[in-house]
């Protein structure tokens, strides 16, 4: 099990390459997605980070919120913040 944190970002708020550099500079993984089941259609950028499930949820939440603030302070519009507890994933082991 592990926590998956994700910040969804609006794609048109800043040039993609600079957003990628900023996200990676925060120690998070950068990604792009076309549409989202909750946010709807459109291009979104995302910042993702995994934490082992033994971490306290308050620690994980603090990391998510602090990273969101760092991105916002750089002019990146965060439209969604979420934490999932992944119980089973055949693509991810040993987080």
Cβ contact 71:26 at 8 Å: yes
pTM, to two decimals: 0.85
Q: Is the pLDDT of residue 35 over 80?
A: no
Can you give the pLDDT at residue 75? 87
Burial 7-28 (b: 16+ CB within 10 A, else e): bbbbbeebeeeebbebbeebeb
Cβ contact 75:13 at 8 Å: yes
Q: Give the model's confidence band at 93: pLDDT under 50 very low, under 70 low, under 90 confident, else very high.
A: low
Helix (H) or strand (E) segment spanning residue 7: strand 2-10
CATH match for 2-86 among 1.10.3720.10, 3.10.580.10, 3.30.70.980, 3.40.50.300 = 3.30.70.980
């Amino acid at each position: 099990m592990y926590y998956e944190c994700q910040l969804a970002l609006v794609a048109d708020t800043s040039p993609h390459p600079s957003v990628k550099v900023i996200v990676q500079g925060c120690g998070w993984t950068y990604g792009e997605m076309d549409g989202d089941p909750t946010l709807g259609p459109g291009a979104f950028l995302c910042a993702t980070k995994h934490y082992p499930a033994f971490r306290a949820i308050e620690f994980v939440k603090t990391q998510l919120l602090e990273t969101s603030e760092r991105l916002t302070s750089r002019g990146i519009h965060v439209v969604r913040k979420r934490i999932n507890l992944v119980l089973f994933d055949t693509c991810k082991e040993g987080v």
